[in-house]
């Protein structure tokens, strides 16, 4: 029996999605519609590869649902997971589109069953080029991504509490204060053991930082959550 | 006896420097002059700290001479050197200027005696905002920096030959094919032992990839050098 692939979203669902996520939400409705029509929503099973490190790149990618692991691979075949992409995030895009690289700098693999939007590079690039407002939004996305890439090596050395706060801050940036993800999955994104996550999430609940609901997590105090990981470095 | 600080460059020297390096070289001569006049060329001794991770950020930085180590520090005081900045490169800037962060994401410390240009953020930002051409140059810089940040964790796992090729490619991007740096320093930037570097550089000379001169290294075949580290990942 083969595992069924996830059902791809309708055009109406894609249009609603595009109106909600950065940077597509900044486009005019007409330009957004043009991108949505040119985009292919592709279903991936768990462990399926979307693209390979070093492979030729002609498409921009955005995650619609599920979760994507970005992996780096060495010459000798050593593999390391660099980060997880969550729905609403771009991947395999900002480090190439306006730069010199014509290949993907890492391998993308579905961590769970996922739907990813593949958008032709030229389409994506032309929708944002030539408009000062849109380009400054893209610069903002690049800046946040650079900041995240700088934080990642630190996070791998930080204790679970700091990592969990960092993951929550990141989810708030994508989803706002109502994160449509269960506590267990947040632990997974932060890369910490479920039991450890449970203790820390309990502490965050006690401090009124978060409030878990049935299908989502409500972030009550994003500033304090942010302070947990950012101030980590100033307390010298 | 105190160690003298390096002598700061004259306005004429700074103007010539700005006309040569990205992204300042893309500005009109008048705007470039304005930035140069607003910039403070600051001398730093070896081991002096330029700014601290988590500290408030109001300035953009560009290295004029010397070398700057960028360090990440954990809550518990663990420290790790992330990368070296070479003359002509921006640092502590692109991950904040158009993004959400108001603090430096890492600590900058002079590795050797250095001169860094400190430019007020507002000045730097306003010189580039509002012009489509200039913003796409900045997006290009951000993209290349993102690509580099993605490669760094892989490089830390790669053999010396790959790391050395990566360092040379990076130097070519900043200086062109005539790298005004001695072989020993290139090894240092690649983060490999001098003896190992010597063997690999010898191999690169034999293959006619590079040709060392008295005060600089001539890169004869930048494409082949690039292929050494980029193709590293495709050979699966």
ipTM comes to 0.85
Mean pLDDT of chain A: 90
Q: Which pLDDT does position B232 carry in this prediction?
A: 54
- Report, as an integer, the average pLDDT of A33-41: 96
**What is the Cβ-side half-sphere exposure of residue B143, based on CA atoms within 13 angstroms?**
22
pLDDT value for B234: 47
Average pLDDT over residues A92-106: 91
Question: What tens digit of pLDDT does each residue of B7-41 get?
Answer: 899 999 999 999 999 999 999 999 999 999 999 99
- Widest pairwise Cα distance in chain A: 57
Band (pLDDT 50/70/90 cuts) for residue B212 is: confident
Contact B83, B108 (CB under 8 A): no
Which contacts qualify for A131-136: CB closer than 8 Å, 24 or more apart? Answer: A131/B132, A132/B129, A132/B130, A132/B131, A132/B132, A132/B135, A133/A26, A134/A23, A134/A26, A134/A27, A135/B132, A135/B135, A135/B136, A135/B139, A136/B98, A136/B129, A136/B135
- Write down the pLDDT at residue A53: 92
Per-residue pLDDT at A11: 94
Which residues of A fall within a CB distance of 8 Å from B228? none
φ/ψ of A96, rounded to 5, equals -125, -45
Confidence at residue B1, expressed as pLDDT on a 0 to 100 scale = 54
Q: How confident is the model at residue B153 (pLDDT cuts 50, 70, 90)?
A: confident
Please judge whether B147 and A95 are an interchain contact, meaning their C-beta atoms are less than 8 angstroms apart.
yes
The stretch A93-104 carries a mean pLDDT of 91
CATH number of the structural domain B156-234: 1.10.10.10
Residue A116's pLDDT is 98
CB nearest A158 (choices: B74, B100, B138): B74
In chain B, ranges of CATH 2.60.120.10 domains: 11-141
Residue B2: what pLDDT? 64
User: What is the CATH topology of the domain spanning A11-141?
Assistant: Jelly Rolls (2.60.120)
Q: What is the dihedral of CA B108, B110, B114, B117, to 10 degrees?
A: 10
| Coil vs helix vs strand at A53 | coil
Chain A residues close to B140, C-beta within 8 Å:
98-100
Average pLDDT score over residue span A104-120:
95
Q: At what angle do helices A121-128 and A29-38 cross, to 10 degrees?
A: 170
Q: Tens of pLDDT along B110-137? A: 999 999 999 999 999 999 998 999 999 9
User: Closest Cα of chain A to B56: distance in Å?
Assistant: 10
A234 pLDDT above the threshold of 80: no
d(CA A46, CA A111): 5
Contact between A229 and A162 under an 8 Å Cβ cutoff? The reply is: yes
Rounded average pLDDT over A113-138 = 95
Average pLDDT over residues B225-229: 90
- Where in the sequence of chain B do the CATH 1.10.10.10 domains occur? 156-234
Q: Rounded to whole angstroms, how far apart are CA atoms A60 and A42?
A: 13
For residue B206, pLDDT beyond 90 = yes
Tell me if chain A has a CB within 8 Å of the CB of B34. Answer: no
Question: Taking residues A131-158, what's their average pLDDT?
Answer: 91
pLDDT band at A141; cut points 50, 70, 90: very high
Report the percentage of chain B scoring pLDDT > 70: 96
For chains A and B, CB pairs below 8 A equal 183
A71, A156, A233, A234: which to substitute to probe chain B, counting the most B Cβ within 10 Å? A233
pLDDT for residue A232: 54
Are the beta carbons of B75 and A231 closer than 8 angstroms? no
Mean pLDDT of chain B: 90
CA distances from B134 to A137, B26, B31, B182 (A): 14, 7, 12, 33
Element (H, E) at B51: strand B49-51
- Per-residue pLDDT, averaged over A5-11, amounts to 88
Q: pTM higher than 0.95 for the full model?
A: no
Interface test with B, best of A147, A159, A235 (most B CBs within 10 A): A147
At residue A180, does pLDDT exceed 90? no
pLDDT confidence band for A218 (50 / 70 / 90): very high
97-156 in chain B: CB under 8 A from chain A: 97-101, 103, 105-106, 129-132, 135-136, 138-140, 142-147, 149-154
Residues 6 or more apart whose Cβ sits within 8 Å of residue A118: A39, A40, A42, A59, A60, A61
CA–CA separation, B115 and B204 (whole Å): 31
Interface touch A75/B135, C-beta < 8 Å:
no
pLDDT band for B45, please (50, 70, 90 cuts). very high
């Amino acid at each position: 029996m083969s595992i069924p692939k996830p059902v791809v979203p309708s055009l109406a669902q894609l249009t609603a999605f595009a109106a909600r996520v950065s940077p597509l939400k900044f486009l005019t409705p007409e330009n957004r519609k043009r991108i949505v029509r040119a985009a292919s929503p592709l279903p991936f099973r768990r462990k399926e590869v979307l693209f390979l490190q070093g492979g030729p790149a002609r498409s921009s990618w955005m995650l619609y649902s599920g979760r994507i692991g970005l992996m780096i691979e060495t010459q000798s075949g050593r593999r390391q997971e660099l980060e997880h992409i969550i729905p609403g995030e771009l991947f395999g895009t900002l480090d190439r589109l306006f730069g010199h690289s014509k290949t993907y700098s890492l391998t993308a693999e579905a961590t769970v069953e996922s739907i990813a939007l593949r958008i032709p590079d030229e389409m994506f690039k032309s929708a944002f080029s030539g408009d000062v407002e849109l380009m400054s939004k893209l610069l903002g996305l690049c800046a946040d991504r650079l900041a995240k890439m700088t934080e990642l090596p630190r996070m791998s050395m930080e204790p679970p509490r700091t990592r969990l706060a960092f993951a929550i801050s990141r989810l708030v940036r994508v989803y706002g204060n109502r994160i449509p993800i269960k506590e267990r999955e947040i632990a997974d994104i932060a890369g910490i053991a479920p039991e450890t996550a449970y203790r820390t999430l309990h502490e965050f609940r006690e401090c009124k930082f978060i409030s878990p609901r049935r299908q989502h997590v409500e972030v009550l105090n994003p500033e304090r959550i942010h302070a947990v990981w950012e101030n980590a470095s100033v307390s010298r």
